Amino acid sequence: MYTVLDPHFGAGETFHALLSLLQRTPSRPFARLRYQAATEFNNPALPTGLLNGVLAPGLHFMQMPELNVELHLWVGNTKAALQEFQGCFDAVLEPDAHRQYGRRMARQPLAMNQPESVAVVGAGIAGSSVALALCQRGVQVHLYDQAGGPATGASGNWVGAFHPHITRGDSPLSRLSRLGFEHTVQALNTLTEQGFLQKDEDWATPGHLQTVPVDEAERTRETLAQLAFPESLVRWAEPDSLLPTPLSGLYFPQGGWVKPARWVQANLQACGSLLTTHYNTPVHDLTALREQHDAVVVCSAEQSIILAPIDGAKVGVVKGQISKLQATVQPNVVLSGESYAIAPPRENWLVLGATYERPVLDLNPTPEADELNVARFRAAFPDWPLGNVVDHRCAVRAVWHDRLPAIGPVPNMPGVFMSTGFASRGLLWAALGGWLVADHCLDQPFESKLLGKIRPRGARA
């Protein structure tokens, strides 16, 4: 793999010229090109089908697998980009590169350590995303799960939402959520282009309305104004502007929904012959897997920290119940905030919830939780007609102490990695986790200040 730094990306002219050259090459380049760039333009000219339009500040990711190219674009000043991009570069697109960047110039391209096989524990959205990312790099994957098939935990929910996160001061969680969102949309688009998913049937991006309480509306609107993000990412929604509700909120025009079990199935199908599944195979200890495989990746939610203990790590478990109702009228956007609701337009049902229940005593659905989901929706959308509850489902979510995921190498366990701690944002973190862990397994990690915050870690004293 070759890593290039372009500190003067501008509108992307040099990058486009490089892509044009690669497109004229008869065969796909063998070595992967990791193109890291900085631009102060928030509306660069990017290849069609990628993140077109005005970009928010910070780190962005775009992948062109047909050319074996990945672009890591920092929107902001070059000094901040050099702090964000860590590690060395094989080349810097700068006339006097060795004088200015000599200490960060690699002596030779980053060699790939191709493992013969990797074991992945957990066949949900996290594990299937890791499996796919490894198979895409030509690695043989063995997928283990104690259940009789994939997506039996939270990944078996009928439908889930994904959208960026907004906080005052643009916290690491918010910046990571934008990056994770880009990974998710690109992963779903790729699977759709390959014929494994169908847009509007298995997933869609109709927009997402996050309602806020009346007493928090003014401060939330001030936060949005301070951030000054492009309206293509998020804008303010007044009461009744999108749906009949007395509440205002944040509207994410690109926010979407996906059927997680279908995504898992698509990931596994796309792995092809490089994937071997081992269902009905509980894993209580990693010793045997570490002996049999070159690396082990733990993606088993709340069980991950048991299989791969980390000194000082604090992981909580939360129970969530979702309720499926007959859809008399379907909202045309995804809803969250004061009430969570998703209604895929080709279905005759609406999903409310999930609840947030601690401590977790069992995973049995209760009428009380259904009533809570319905009551929250009626409070936010009092005039919206609802049908009867026809089904319900419970699952647990693993929550790391700082509410960030845990993705990367496990401390003091060589050859062991994890992608877990997704809490209620698994659909944001899964594709990012798969890409990041796969590169770690091949000794080609993308070194970033922001991504360093989600390496598996203990809580600070």
In this prediction, residue 110 carries a pLDDT of 61
In this prediction, residue 461 carries a pLDDT of 47
In this prediction, residue 46 carries a pLDDT of 84
> Using an 8 Å Cβ cutoff, are 299 and 126 in contact?
yes
> Using an 8 Å Cβ cutoff, are 208 and 199 in contact?
no
* Mean pLDDT of the chain, nearest integer: 94
Write out residues in the chain with pLDDT < 70, as ranges: 48-52, 107-112, 461
In this prediction, residue 27 carries a pLDDT of 78
In this prediction, residue 109 carries a pLDDT of 63
Residue 40 CB burial class (10 angstroms; 0-12, 13-18, ≥19)? middle
